[in-house]
Structure 1
Amino acid sequence: MADVSHEWSEEVERVVAGLLGGERSSTLHDLADEAGLDESWVERYWQLMGLPPSSPDATEYTREDAQALADLHELEVRENLDARTIASLVRSVGHSTERLSWWHFEALVDHVVRQQGLLDPDARRAVIRAMDRLAPVLERQLVHAWRRQTTALVTRMAEEFGDAAQDTASLRSGRDLPLPRAVGFADIVAFTRMTATMAPDDLANFIQAFETRARDIVTANGGRVVKTIGDALLFIADDVVTGARVALGLAKATEDELGVPGIAGRPVRVSLVWGRVLARFGDVFGPSVNLASRLTDQAEPSTVLLDEVTAHRLASNPHFALTTLEPREVPGLGTLTPVRLDFARD
């Protein structure tokens, strides 16, 4: 048994060396020296990355680690970035890549289980053995995706903020959040009841099918998914008409289109609110986000609810029909008068 454990340790170390681009030969002190940085700066970096600290004598680091730290510090000095900005940049990379690597790993485990008929523990060992072989392609995909997503973001922002004549008086006064956006939620009806008795494989397939197909609907209608939260999906759009099309696309999707079996009729309820938001940490914040979340709770299956302000912005559009509903008390928000959104009949 000891021999098997030793062989496995050697195999894992081979995989790790492949992933890191070389042997782990430096302590934290060595790493700081190689990067030309204070140890406290280096320790803070690893903390922000969400990686566990190493003991002082452990040889955990490589020359690539030192180069990455030196590059970041050079950027910090050249661009005069303050500690808050550096912390946000490093934390964003750590948080995103932690989730991404986990997602990749679990997708590969699922593939091995299905294709090779292995039990989950055996599939995980198989994926570990393969990771250094798979990593170069996945790494290139990550860099390519970052470039394309950043290009799309820069293009959108250039179109929105390229006009120097924009009225920025309210922003200068500090009264308004910076970004006007349509914000909405799509919530699976009866999610807890449906998933309570599902086997693990069925639950995984259910969640993956919903998230994938819902994202496709949002993207096809011109919106963007911010995140999924359990049984709900948060999306945004740059204008209220696009937001309305996204919301109705989700609400009117069938069980088959969304991959949500077991519900008579359409499986989601949706909200949409126009307002200003603050974008931070890959997320959006503001009163309109909170209002959209509460409106979703008030919606019936297959319907979209708006607040009155958002409904007013769509009132003159001939492609949409609006129905004002009875006022109701909503905990934390007081009395609301929801407006149901539909496509106009031809």
Structure 2
Amino acid sequence: MPWGSPEVGDEAVAFGPAEIEILRRIDSFVDASVLTEDDVLRLARTMGVALSRVTDAQVELLAAAIRVELSGAHPPEHQDDVLPAAIEAMGEAVTYLWTHHLLAALTRALVREEGAVDQAVGFADMTGFSRLSRSLGTGAIARLIDAFEAAVFDAVTSLGGRVIKLIGDEVLFVAPDIMVAAEITMGIAERVAANDDMPPIHCGAAYGPAVNVGGDVFGPTVNLAARLTSVARPGTLVVPRVDADPLIERWGDRVRRIHRLTDLKGIGQVRSVAIRLSGDEEPVAAG
């Protein structure tokens, strides 16, 4: 089963009674037609990837402590306490956060209909990150990504959105409507601008049906938002003209109507508008 762990040979002893019991329980749900085998495999993939990333982050955080522990450099009276206590605390935190997110997901599931759900989908990218990263050391790149992720999570969660995934210099998020999505991009831009080491962002967003599967979102609205992001200039948010009325009403002085149709790969020609993410200055010219 794809838990995200390395595969082992058929003869290797890698699992014990606890794993067998978990599989028996899951199999009982499949036998009762509560779940299908495809459901189980999809959930296993999602959990494996997510928890692999969580544990990597935890080990990175504890790396220094682990090195000291393994070297025996701790005073004898502390060697048996520090690392196990930290690991136990992190395990408890994972359980707490899982419970919190499970309740939030159940609430969302109870209020939405089956299938595609109308929602705003947004992307925010750091401009020129690939070029910038070539001139930075690994430590500086890590700090840049960390600062971007902090700005993203702060803005998205405080304004009522939800982070779907972060891929280095890019975030995909969802929001209840296009207004909230625009506020989120402006919130990210404001936080990024406060850090002199970070490049500006460019964003795209669209409102429409999107399917939620395994913690991710799919559908034409997601594709449209991604393509709009690819044509956005630094310091701007690009949205379809059909979604733009509330944004024009609120931020009319920041809006630039794009009079020509934008040809988006795989989608076709779309009429759109660009909105400056900051009211203080003009967006940077596309390079």
**Normalising by structure 1, what TM-score?**
0.68
Distance in 2 separating the partners of 1:97 and 1:214: 21
- The counterpart of 2:266, out of the listed 311, 316, 332, is 332
What amino acid maps onto 2:250 in structure 1?
H
- Aligned match of 2:74: none
The offset of 1:293, in angstroms, is: 1.3
Name the SS for the 1:212 alignment partner: helix
* Equivalent of residue 319 in structure 1, options 250, 256, 279: 250
Corresponding letter in the other structure for 2:212: A
Gaps in structure 2 of 5+ consecutive residues: 72-79, 280-287
Q: Which has the higher contact order (CA 8 A, sep 6+)?
A: 2
Larger-Rg structure = 1
In structure 1, C-alpha distance between the alignment counterparts of 2:171 and 2:130, rounded to whole Å: 16
Question: 1 CA distance for matches of 2:219 and 2:228?
Answer: 15
What residue is the counterpart of 1:52 in the other structure? 6
What are the equivalent positions in structure 2 for 1:94-109 lying under 5 Å apart? 94-109=48-63
3-state SS in 2 of match to 1:202: helix
Dislocated runs of 4+, deviation >4 Å: 121-126, 129-133, 342-345
Give the secondary-structure state (helix, strand or coil) at the position aligned to 1:51. coil
* Residues 1:81 and 2:60 are matched in the alignment: no
Tell me by how many angstroms 1:71 deviates: 2.5
Give the deviation of 1:188 after TM superposition.
0.6
Alpha-carbon shift at residue 106 of structure 1 (Å): 1.7
Aligned partner of 1:72 among 15, 18, 26: 26
**Equivalent residues of 1:182, 1:275 under 8 A apart:** yes
Which residue is equivalent to 1:341? Answer: 275
Q: Report how far residue 156 of structure 1 moved.
A: 2.9
Amino acid at match of 1:237: A
Q: Does 1:280 align with 2:213?
A: yes
CA contact (8 A) 1:276 1:288 kept: yes
Q: Map residues 203-242 of structure 1 onto 2, 5 A cutoff.
A: 203-242=141-180
Equivalent residues of 1:194, 1:262 under 8 A apart = no
Q: CA deviation at 1:279?
A: 1.4
Q: Provide the rounded CA distance (Å) in 2 between the counterparts of 1:186 and 1:134.
A: 34
What SS does structure 2 have at the residue aligned with 1:319?
Answer: helix
Q: Which of residues 130, 136, 146 is equivalent to 2:88? A: 136
Aligned to 1:179: 117
Post-superposition offset of 1:141: 1.4
Question: Contact conserved, 1:252 with 1:302, CA < 8 A, in 2?
Answer: no
Per-residue CA deviation, residues 77-110 of structure 1 (Å, 9 max, x unaligned), is: 345322111212222222221221112112222x
Q: Distance in 1 between matches of 2:108 and 2:211?
A: 16
- Answer yes or no: is 1:268 the counterpart of 2:222: no
Percent identical pairs in the alignment equals 26
2-structure distance, mates of 1:65, 1:157: 29
Counterpart CA distance in 2 for 1:182 and 1:124 is 47
The letter for the 2-side match of 1:191 is F
Aligned residue pair count: 268
C-alpha displacement at 1:123, in angstroms? Answer: 6.5
Amino acid at match of 1:277: A
Q: Structure 1: state its 5+ residue gaps.
A: 1-44, 162-170, 172-176
Distance 1:99 1:319 in 2: 39
